[in-house]
A = this chain, B = another copy of it.
Amino acid sequence: MTDQMQHITLASRPNGAPVPDNFALETCAVPTPKDGEVLVRVHYMSLDPYMRGRMDDAKSYAAPVPIGGTMEGGGVGKVIQSKADGFEPGDYVFGMLGWATHAIQPAKMLRKIDPDIVPITTALGVLGMPGFTGWHGLMEYGRPKAGETLVVAAATGPVGSMVGQLAKSLGLRTVGIAGGADKCALATDTFGFDACLDHRAHDDARSLRAAVKQAAPDGIDIYFENVGGKVLEAVMPLMNPFGRIPVCGMISWYNAGGLGAGADAPMSAPALWRPILVNFLNVQGFIISNHWNQYPTFLTEVTPKVIRGDIKLVEDIAEGLENAPEAFIGLLQGRNVGKQIVKVI
């Protein structure tokens, strides 16, 4: 065991889209756990769109990463030293381990995972925060009913693919939106979407709207909102009366510089609010960290589906901690295919 570790810190706040210089790869001594703490060797770390928000100091649902602080994020790894009851070297755990090769965490912030049931990377995607987000948002706020039509963007991502597969299994017509023909093929062939539209083939919301209208001839009952921007503009006028819009993310706006900026959204505020009134829509923003009490129910319900292959997953694994910034920049541009993970060791 080396006594040095690496971690990636926030070197500067991005002005719009993050660039490599916003990150710094640093080396320091591996810390020693105190009583009640556990030292973990990180095997895989997760990259997720919400991390873009942590890089700003704008008011949001979580405190920003301070300049010079280690980038936050979930990871899975193996316990290498424990000063806490219930954790032994060799145990696999999930925790908010950060963008790092090693992490110290209080035992209560770690969750043991069993590598014999499903691959440990699933704790970052299909059975982790993103999959849980899709399940909770769809079931709790989407209130799906057989025969209805659902639209979700980032359809091959870990949230969108969970939403689409669950909705399909419940008898809904599922229309995905994704970036590129390859992703659209993945959406229909692997994730079972009834149709998938390539948003890159449409220059503006109007053009995309015409395509969605064709793919959703009976209108849209549930729009699972995880991107904002052009897709939101395209679908709002197509929502059916009493439609539901769970909102878990607006990735297309994350680079817009926070509240007040709107260069990516030429549609007016009234145009995006009036349909709420006119079609009696329910729009529910949520962030999954407020709902962890539902996580055991999710695992109980969905783990067997993953084991049986009823819920499929696709992972995009970058190699090496040093490549995490580039992979994250790519994620925000939609260059990943499936759940973006970094293999740290």
Residues in A lying within 8 Å of B, measured CB to CB: 59-61, 228, 232-233, 237, 241, 247-250, 253, 256, 258-262, 264-265, 267-287, 290
Q: 11 A-B pairs, CB-CB below 8 angstroms?
A: A59-B278, A61-B279, A61-B280, A247-B276, A256-B270, A259-B275, A260-B268, A261-B270, A262-B269, A267-B269, A281-B284
Task: Find the B residue at minimum CB distance from A141.
Answer: B282
Residues of chain B lying within 8 A (CB to CB) of residue A282: 282-285
Given A262-B268, A276-B283, 15 other A-B contacts at CB below 8 A?
A61-B278, A247-B276, A247-B277, A249-B277, A250-B270, A250-B273, A258-B274, A261-B268, A268-B269, A281-B283, A281-B285, A282-B282, A282-B283, A282-B284, A283-B284
Q: Is there contact, CB below 8 Å, between A253 and B278?
A: no
Q: Is there contact, CB below 8 Å, between A278 and B60?
A: yes
Q: Is there contact, CB below 8 Å, between B61 and A273?
A: no
Q: Is there contact, CB below 8 Å, between B273 and A272?
A: yes
Q: Is there contact, CB below 8 Å, between A259 and B277?
A: no
Q: Which one of A228, A247, A267 has the greatest number of beta carbons of chain B within 10 Å?
A: A247
Residues of chain B lying within 8 A (CB to CB) of residue A287: 277, 280
Q: Is there contact, CB below 8 Å, between A248 and B277?
A: yes
Q: Is there contact, CB below 8 Å, between A277 and B268?
A: no
Q: In whole angstroms, what is the CA distance A265 to B262 when docked? A: 13
Q: Which one of A228, A237, A241, A274 has the greatest number of beta carbons of chain B within 10 Å?
A: A274
Q: Is there contact, CB below 8 Å, between A259 and B273?
A: no
Within the complex, which residue of B233, B248, B265 is in contact with A268, where a contact is CB–CB below 8 Å? B265
Residues of chain B lying within 8 A (CB to CB) of residue A281: 283-285
User: A149 to nearest B CB, angstroms?
Assistant: 18
Q: In whole angstroms, what is the CA distance A241 to B61 when docked? A: 9
Q: Is there contact, CB below 8 Å, between A274 and B250?
A: yes
Q: In whole angstroms, what is the CA distance A267 to B260 when docked? A: 7
User: A218 to nearest B CB, angstroms?
Assistant: 16
User: A193 to nearest B CB, angstroms?
Assistant: 24
Residues of chain B lying within 8 A (CB to CB) of residue A253: 270, 273-274
Q: In whole angstroms, what is the CA distance A292 to B119 when docked? A: 53
Q: In whole angstroms, what is the CA distance A284 to B275 when docked? A: 11
Task: Find the B residue at minimum CB distance from A266.
Answer: B269
Task: Find the B residue at minimum CB distance from A258.
Answer: B274
Q: Is there contact, CB below 8 Å, between A277 and B272?
A: no
Q: Is there contact, CB below 8 Å, between B273 and A232?
A: yes
Contact A228-B270, Cβ < 8 Å, known A237-B259, A259-B237? yes
Residues of chain B lying within 8 A (CB to CB) of residue A232: 269, 273
Residues of chain B lying within 8 A (CB to CB) of residue A284: 276, 280-283
